[in-house]
Amino acid sequence: MEYIKIGNVKIKKTACLAPMAGMADTAYRLMAKKYGAAMVCSEMVSCKGLCYTDKKSAALLTVTEAERPMAVQLFGSEPEFFSKAAQIAQRYDPDIIDINCGCPVPKVVNTGAGSALLKNPDVIGGLVKAVKSVTDIPVTVKIRTGWDENSINAVETAKIIQDSGADAIAVHGRTKKQMYSGKADWEIISRVKQTVGIPVIANGDVSDPVSCKRMYDETGCDLVMIGRGSYGRPWIFEEVSHYLETGELLPEKKLSERLDILTEHIMLAVKLKGEFTAMREARTHAVWYIKGIQNAAHYRSMCGRLSTLEDFFRLKEEILTIN
């Protein structure tokens, strides 16, 4: 097994879990880690929220030993808030602090944060310096290729990020304008890797072990990051590790296995958040886990009405009886 190092953090060179707001909570991350995710990252946390003692923001920073190595991701646009937020984040003992410069969601971009920062890479450099000045924890930055097709500036931005002291950079191969549509541009990721000397984490259109291997081969990246490819499939990390080590593909999970893993995921979420909240969030996860099965449209409708564990076990029994 190969490893890379980000600062003093040793990480398996397989695949890590992308930070995903509203999706990759503690339960999701623990499931990914169980199946071999090389690293996980918190949902994004507002710097201002932390600085104004927002309890919801602080709760997102919790790091459990089972999740290590784990990064916490901060978003915002002002250096003074980033430096204070980084100091607060340190109390939770993360392995890495990540700066979000890639989120394309309007409510984030409209505040000047996330992908909006790609319009002024020097500001990103200032954020890196602000965080590095208050912590010895490794600092990484996640970006996109640019704001739109007419302003592709990932290489220029990566240079500034490196020169400002960051320990690694993650590149999603899409522009802000693309959101999550179209095809990711792996060639830009390759150019970033050729330009900087710090580790480069590649993200975009990796949905299985074969595309993960191809990402490594085509970009020369140091680590692959998987986001949407893990929806309803936390075992993708196990598949990737096995394929990279042996060149062999693991057999597809049987439906009964998938539902058992979903059960474990939901039970873990209930333990962490309580049944009321966990079951409402489980509606989305359940749809992904059952994707592609017979009568999926009918079961998706049932997933959308999940409110209790009893509802879920009734759904599971019906799926296994008919499929």
Domain ranges of the chain: 3-246, 255-322
Q: Which of 47, 103, 212, 303 is catalytic?
A: 103
Q: Does the structure show a pLDDT above 80 at 54?
A: no
Q: Is the pTM of this model over 0.85?
A: yes
CA distance 24 to 103: 15
What pLDDT is stored for residue 322 in this prediction?
A: 79
* Known active-site residue 41: no
What pLDDT is stored for residue 88 in this prediction?
A: 94
Domains 3-246 and 255-322 share a fold: no
- Name residues whose C-beta falls within 8 Å of residue 192's C-beta, 6 or more positions apart in sequence: 154, 155, 158, 169, 171, 200
What is the pLDDT averaged over residues 56-81? 94
Q: CATH says 3-246 is which class?
A: alpha beta
**pLDDT 10s digits, 300-319:** 999 999 999 999 999 999 99
Q: Which CATH architecture has domain 255-322?
A: Orthogonal Bundle (1.10)
**CB of 51 closer than 8 Å to CB of 81:** yes
